[in-house]
């Protein structure tokens, strides 16, 4: 799974990228979301799981 696939799975609601300097995968929700912050993981699958946990607790991003 690529980071583009993670972003596509969120239907573009989350901004996702790979940090070349950190070697980690990152995501942040839209500005209007109930939670603000950055998520990071060492794999795209882990990032998708972290997004899923945030959305499970706070609801889906708009």
- Residue 60: CA atoms inside 13 Å, Cβ hemisphere, count? 6
Helix (H) or strand (E) holding 45: helix 44-58
Which tokens belong to 29? 């929700």
Q: Among the residues of the chain, which ranges form H helices?
A: 3-9, 44-58
- pTM of the entire predicted model: 0.86
Average pLDDT of 3-18?
90
Measured between alpha carbons, how far is 29 from 13 in angstroms, rounded to an integer?
Answer: 7
- pLDDT by residue (tens digit) across 15-46? 999 999 999 999 999 888 888 899 999 999 99
């Amino acid at each position: 799974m690529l980071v583009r696939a993670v972003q596509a799975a969120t239907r573009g609601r989350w901004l996702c990228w790979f940090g070349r300097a950190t070697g980690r995968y990152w995501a942040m929700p839209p500005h209007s979301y109930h939670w603000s912050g950055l998520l990071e993981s060492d794999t795209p699958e882990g990032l998708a799981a972290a997004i899923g946990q945030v959305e499970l607790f706070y609801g889906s991003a708009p």
